[in-house]
Amino acid sequence: MKPYSYSISFFAAAAVIASASLQAGEYASRSEAEAMVAKAVKHIKADGKDAAYADFTGKKAGWVDRDLYVVVYDMNGKVLAHGQNEKQVGKELISLKDADGKEFVKERVDLAKSKGKFWQDYKFTDPMTKKILPKSMYCEKLDDTAVCAGVYKR
């Protein structure tokens, strides 16, 4: 083997590793979703729901990170804040189904009522790729709401 072939192999391997690391960093992790929800709950408690919901929906700095954003529902499935689609605010989505026919908002509200803190799996459109992908949503019940942020499974 020629001396420079080692260098080429090394750089090729390094490029593959760097590319994989970059792709992994393009999407939020489960721990980042949990941290976003904790931060959102703290913001609601400190500054009030009206100010916090406006910040989440208005995509104020720190409330949208790649594919990660905050969504808040009341216990009837009405969207109170939505960090990716402000047109959803005010809509009652209790009967909304995912690609598999799962009433994921109803399930989310039921889990909030019974568990308080939970992860939920369903399918949803990735705002970055516009493809329907498996997603996991982390939620915490706060008073009569569910404060949530989700990650796409890769």
**pLDDT, tens digit, for every residue of 107-123?**
999 999 999 999 999 99
Tell me if 8 is assigned to some domain: no
Tell me if 66 is assigned to some domain: yes
7 DSSP β-pair partners: none
Tell me if 4 is assigned to some domain: no
Tell me if 32 is assigned to some domain: yes
Tell me if 12 is assigned to some domain: no
Tell me if 85 is assigned to some domain: yes
> Does residue 126 have a pLDDT over 90?
no
Q: What CATH number corresponds to the domain at position 67? A: 3.30.450.20
Q: pTM for this one?
A: 0.82
- For the chain, the domain total comes to 1
| Domain residue limits at 59 | 28-152
* DSSP-derived secondary structure for 8-50: HHHHHHHHHHHHHHHHHHTS--HHHHHHHHHHHHHHHHHH-HH
139: enclosing H helix or E strand = strand 132-142
Judging by beta carbons within 10 Å of its beta carbon (0-12, 13-18, 19+), is residue 2 exposed, middle or buried?
exposed
Give residue-wise pLDDT tens across range 46-55. 999 999 999 9
Residues 6 or more apart whose CB falls under 8 angstroms from that of 6 comprise: none
Tell me if 56 is assigned to some domain: yes
pLDDT at 96: 96
> Does residue 61 have a pLDDT over 50?
yes
Tell me if 112 is assigned to some domain: yes
